Structure 1
Amino acid sequence: MAEALSKSRDAAANVSAPEKAIINHATIEQLFSDYIADQKRRGKRSYDKTQYRLNQVLDSQHIDRNTPAKDITPAHIKRVLAEFISRGAVAGSNKVRANLHAVFNFGLFADNDPAKLNEKVIYGLDRNPVTVVPRQEGADKALDRFLSWDEMKEILKLFRISSTVFPIHPDYGRLILLCIFTAGQRPWEIMTNTKDNWDKNNNTLTVPLHISKNGDYHVIPLCESATEILECQAKQYPDSEFLFPGDTKEGHLLTAEYAKQIRKFCARYDFEKFTPRDIRRTFKTLAGEMGISSEMRDRLQNHKKSGVSTKHYDRYDYLKEKREIIAQWESKLLSL
């Protein structure tokens, strides 16, 4: 009887307190890798920027990439972020902090999902070490930088010397020009786009749903200058499906390197710093000066149209008006 009672208690204990099978806990490098893979799977467009920042963390003298993720402490995080701050990248430290916070939350949720009660513990995290490390208040500047007409003139002068000579890598040079001549389109929606979306007969480039930020099809009218850039790319890379192929795992150029190339240009030519997003803002601002309505500027840049479902949205709406704006924009740029 006593033996039966003991077995009964053991069985009850197993039911009331199920245990996960424990394996060697994943390293911080593996946690980072798993997070990036999850971002790619979920179609997050900024994964390459995040990966670039996380690689910087792994390269820090304060981090051993083979350390189990569960052994990373707030002290590690504080020292890593201090490196960014010490070299003047205060706003950058906030971006890295945000990425790290998301990464460790990913690991926490993966291990503590009730739906995975009897699965193996991968990371062994019981807290997020980033939470108690404060961000740097006031470091993030308002996004208000746009290029003046004089700055646009200088960029066009430097980047249009010839089809092959550029102040930076030629492919990124042509990408900058295409973003300019297409009225500040999102770089991601161009560099990940493929040749089959380029309608040469109608001079348009379509952004398909799977790479469109707002989930809508978007038809970009192409001026002659934009078409010349695409033709140059096609001639340079006849065997690639991408408009802007790259020697990357993805097969196309990446936004992190694009931003880096622009920084190099600014430093090399003593040009006031600007970012890829500032090119987009430049069209929005300067086209406004030209008298183009805010609604049409938004439509041309593929801003989300509130109250209009993707299902009923006609991708060719306002194409005539968008062509007219692109023609005005190109004419103004070439007159500088």
Structure 2
Amino acid sequence: MMLTSKQISSFKPKNNHYYKWDKTNERGMGRLGIHIIKSGTKVFKFRFFVNEKAVFIKIGTFPQVSLSIAREKAKLYSLMLDKGLDPKDEIEKQQRAKEEQQKAESQKATLKDLFDSHRDKKKAGEKRQADIDLEILEKEIYPYISPDTKAKDVTTEEIVCILRKIIDRGATTKSNKVRSILHAAFNYGLKHDNDPAKKSTVGKFDLSHNPVTAIPKQTEAEKVGNHFLEPEELFKLLYELEHRTHDLKMHQNARNIMRLCFYLGGQRPNEVCSIKWSDINHQEMTVTLPGKITKNKRDLVIALTKSSYNLLTKNQNTSQSEYVFPKTTDPSAPTPLNTISQAVGRYRERSGLRTFTARDFRRTFKTLTGHLGISKELRDRIQGHAMNDVSSKHYDRYDYLSEKREAMTLWCEYLDNGISKYKANAKQLIKHSN
């Protein structure tokens, strides 16, 4: 007779433990039973025979495990027997496989591993934004996704929610920045596990896709700027960076970097910050921005004039760093880009000039040198823009250094003369005011 839950509940403990078995007509397929122990505990067990010796598999305690669940497990074990398998051996194999899977899962690299490892890769390539980018991710991501989360378990939906919070606080451009850093980090993780050249100190990321790819960039926030400094604004800025010390709390390195952004042809602040003494060719009067710090990954040779050379080499005799503009708290590192951003902001607050950013330096050079009659092609070459026509990409190996030197001489003379006139006018105004 088949067991019922009511019957099992009615079974009473005796002086010795005993079994009650489910009656089935299937021979050799094992049998489900309930084991009533002297303490009154009732345990479901499955019994089968190996070489005429009874083997028991514990299923669970009644009523925590119901009769229907016990029968399902017993049926599974019977099917194993029917296939010639030992249920006990199979259970042990499944348990070992489960433990191995759990062990492998526990060794999967975390989100923190991904971010830190990607930072290390960028630092190895001398990407000076590496630490700043990591700080951005730690600030924007970790409050919502634990750093201990497995990288492979991060979902597109989670990232969308985080970016939406950034947009909702009015920082759409920042959301694009966070999206960009995240996308690069997960792309790195996708290739990490199968890179034969990588000696990894973290586990596998086991990523199957990049969860950021499907999230669109907020293109309306990335409008192309059109602001540039008018000549009088530029001359005022350059003059005051050199002479205004009473209320501009700005390190001399920051002042010189900002001035050199112009005197070197509208180069990016982060590229100027990263110049090393070894990049300067004193004999040829050039400075080379190596491809590892330029945006297009190509070396850029800049012709120096007397003014730009003097600015660049001003502290060479006293410097103990390989960098022309070392970080004040760590001479082994260059001046951080955010130092320049802060300096620009501080100057804006005190100068009364129209709002501008460091990004406008590049546009200012491009615009004002156009007025000086310097061709667009030469302006592009001075700023290191990629020349993508077939002739430039595949055939033209001329360095245009003499043409660039002529243009830079014209530009730096324009700056020097403009600053001199601004200085004379400023003195005249002071004289009249007194």
2:409 maps to 1:328 = no
Name the CA shift for 1:27/1:323 in 2 (closer, same or farther; >3 Å): same
Task: Answer whether contact 2:291 2:298 (CA < 8 A) is retained.
Answer: yes
Shift of 1:70: 3.1
Task: Answer whether contact 2:248 2:346 (CA < 8 A) is retained.
Answer: no
Task: Answer whether contact 2:248 2:347 (CA < 8 A) is retained.
Answer: no
- Give the secondary structure class of the aligned counterpart of 1:206: strand
Query: What's 2:403 paired with?
Result: 318
Query: What's 1:239 paired with?
Result: 320
Name the CA shift for 1:162/1:115 in 2 (closer, same or farther; >3 Å): closer
Match of 2:151 among 63, 66, 69: 69
In 2, Cα distance between equivalents of 1:129 and 1:292: 46
Unpaired stretches in structure 1, ≥5 consecutive residues: 4-9, 11-19
Shift of 1:218: 3.6
Count of residues in Structure 1 that have an aligned counterpart in Structure 2: 319
Name the CA shift for 1:164/1:204 in 2 (closer, same or farther; >3 Å): farther
Name the CA shift for 1:331/1:42 in 2 (closer, same or farther; >3 Å): closer
In 1, Cα distance between equivalents of 2:352 and 2:299: 39
Name the CA shift for 1:129/1:284 in 2 (closer, same or farther; >3 Å): same
Question: What is the correspondence of 1:3-18 to structure 2 with a 5 Å cutoff?
Answer: none
Task: Answer whether contact 2:119 2:130 (CA < 8 A) is retained.
Answer: yes
Query: What's 1:26 paired with?
Result: 109
2:301 maps to 1:219 = yes
Question: What is the correspondence of 1:231-310 to structure 2 with a 5 Å cutoff?
Answer: 231-234=313-316, 237-246=318-327, 247=329, 251-267=333-349, 269=351, 271-306=353-388, 307-308=392-393
> For the pair shown, which has the larger CA radius of gyration, 1 or 2?
2
Shift of 1:183: 2.0
Over residues 208-261 of structure 1, what are the superposed CA-to-partner deviations in whole Å (9 max), with x where a residue is unaligned? 4554544555432333443342243335x5211211111459611233443344
State the AA in 2 paired with 1:290.
L
Match of 1:89 among 171, 175, 179: 171
Of all paired residues, the percent bearing the same amino acid is 31
Task: Answer whether contact 1:23 1:121 (CA < 8 A) is retained.
Answer: no
Name the CA shift for 1:257/1:271 in 2 (closer, same or farther; >3 Å): same
- Give the secondary structure class of the aligned counterpart of 1:142: coil
In 2, Cα distance between equivalents of 1:123 and 1:170: 45
Match of 1:145 among 221, 224, 227: 227
Shift of 1:93: 0.7
Higher deviation after alignment, 95-104 or 197-206: 197-206
Task: Answer whether contact 2:179 2:212 (CA < 8 A) is retained.
Answer: yes
**TM-score, structure 1 normalization:** 0.76
- Normalized per residue, the structure richer in strand is 2
In 1, Cα distance between equivalents of 2:334 and 2:132: 14
Task: Answer whether contact 1:190 1:243 (CA < 8 A) is retained.
Answer: no
State the AA in 2 paired with 1:243.
V
Task: Answer whether contact 2:125 2:292 (CA < 8 A) is retained.
Answer: no
